Structure 1
Amino acid sequence: MNWAFLQGLLSGVNKYSTAFGRVWLSIVFLFRVMVFVVAAEKVWGDEQKDFKCNTAQPGCHNVCYDHFFPVSHVRLWALQLIFVTCPSMLVVMHVAYRDDRERKNKLRYGENCQRLYMNTGKKRGGLWWTYVLTLVFKIAVDATFVYLVYHIYEGYDFPLLIKCEQKPCPNKVDCFISRPTEKKIFTLFMVVSSLVCILLSIIEILYLIGKRLRECISKVHHSRHVTTDQMSSGSTLMDQSTLKLGREKTPVTPAPSYRVAIS
């Protein structure tokens, strides 16, 4: 698995993320990817080799191991990290599409033409929906894999002793897992980090929706204020013009003249 490519991808989308998105990226790198690469692969490297059963019956060891560990934890977590990080590529691709449209618009109408986007990386319009949908997909992926780990392995515990009675085992045999406590700690760590990422994604969605609603409400208030000002100024101008016309149309009554009769 090319972790350098994954790191470059997530670092590229980091500049288009919110503060919560950057925290999410930090947790994915430090507490999931780094722990997975440095420690988890070594902890589960000997899981099948050191899985021992107290019988020499051919095939019993393999059947019991496949029954209790149908999917390797390491491969399941690798698949989870791929699915949870690849949606970030959609955001980068959408921004690249906007940049390409802006470039073609400048080539067609010149450098001084009206821009299609004031900021191609600003989460408005389609990019806002793309970003929110990627967050929803990340939540669904993490929640699904957390449930799969619990369902497949019947919890997050690693018992010291496993009772196996699968065929071709002659009877109920005892099987032992290598380093069960260490594996339990790393499993709980990965599950908790996944839950934290789910919580951060939910908070980020609520933040984006709240911010968008606040902007829409402020625009509505601003438009109403402008309309009220225009109507008020129009009424004032009409009153002034009416008053002026009234003054012009009012006839001037001449002063009465009185004649004094001289007797």
Structure 2
Amino acid sequence: MDWKFLEGLLSGVNKYSTAFGRIWLAVVFVFRVLIFVVAAERVWSDDQGHFDCNTRQPGCTNNCYDHYFPISHIRLWALQLIFITCPSFMVVLHVAYRGERERKYKAKHGDDTCLYDNPGQKHGGLWWTYLISLFLKTVFELTFLYLLHYVYNSFKLPRKVQCDVAPCPNLVDCYVARPTEKTVFTYFMVGTSVVCVVINICEILYLIASRIVNLKRRGSSYTSSRKIHKDECKDVTKQTYHATC
């Protein structure tokens, strides 16, 4: 998989992210993608070849491996990384859409005019797009954590499993290659996934809190401006009344 292409796309997302979003992106690349590419793939590269069962019955070892490992950890983590990064592209596409509208608006009304003060500023529809992307990333993270726990029944890999699926002649013992090392990597990837979920939740709360504060400020400024306008109208009315008298 070309992870450099994914890195290039997400670097554009970083320009429109909050501080929490930049921390999330750093955690994803340093503690997930980098560990995945440098170490995790090599650890699981020989998992099926070194899955040994105490029988020479043809097909027994392969079926037992497929029974206990229906999907590789590596492929599941690769899918997880793809799914959790895709919602961020919604923000980039929305900003690109705003940029195109801005270009057409200037072409029609002149270069001195503008439709947006800053196309990448998170207000209006872009704020909702950013918030929805955070919810989707959090849902995908939790879904894959559940799938990992559900498929393997736990995050810890056993040293030995017992298998009696066909065509095994009886209950046979099978041994997982390097279970301790794989368990360490599994806990590490699960831990970083949980950290990303916490960061996403913090960013969601931050966005909502910032939105509420901005709305209150706008409401207070609007109320004060209306009060000033009413006072000016009263002064004008009094002056007109005295002048008439």
TM-score between the two structures when normalised by the length of structure 1: 0.91
Cα deviation for residue 196 of structure 1 reads 0.8
Query: Match of 1:105?
Result: 105
Query: 1:41-80 maps to which residues of 2 (within 5 A)?
Result: 41-80=41-80
Query: Match of 2:200?
Result: 201
Query: Match of 2:133?
Result: 134
Query: Match of 2:232?
Result: 233
- Give the Cα separation in 2 of the matches to 1:243 and 1:125: 48
Query: Match of 1:5?
Result: 5
Cα deviation for residue 61 of structure 1 reads 0.5
Cα deviation for residue 72 of structure 1 reads 0.5
Cα deviation for residue 205 of structure 1 reads 0.9
Aligned-partner residue type, residue 215 of structure 1: N
Query: Match of 2:22?
Result: 22
SS of aligned partner of 1:117: coil
* Number of aligned positions between the proteins: 245
> RMSD over aligned Cα, in angstroms?
1.0
- Give the Cα separation in 1 of the matches to 2:51 and 2:236: 92
SS of aligned partner of 1:86: helix
User: Which structure: greater helix fraction?
Assistant: 2
SS of aligned partner of 2:83: helix
Query: Match of 1:252?
Result: none
SS of aligned partner of 2:117: coil
- Give the Cα separation in 1 of the matches to 2:232 and 2:109: 39
| Cα distance change of structure 1 residues 108 and 244 upon mapping to structure 2, 3 Å threshold | closer
Query: Match of 2:40?
Result: 40
SS of aligned partner of 1:87: helix
Aligned-partner residue type, residue 33 of structure 1: V
Deviates more, 1:14-23 or 1:158-167: 158-167
TM-score between the two structures when normalised by the length of structure 2: 0.97
Cα deviation for residue 238 of structure 1 reads 2.1
Query: Match of 2:149?
Result: 150
Aligned-partner residue type, residue 150 of structure 1: H
Query: Match of 1:167?
Result: 166
1:125-161 C-alpha deviation (Å, 9 max, x unpaired): 1111111111111011110000000000010111111
- Give the Cα separation in 2 of the matches to 1:134 and 1:14: 14
SS of aligned partner of 2:168: coil
1:208-257 C-alpha deviation (Å, 9 max, x unpaired): 111111111111111111111111222233223323433xxxxxxxxxxx
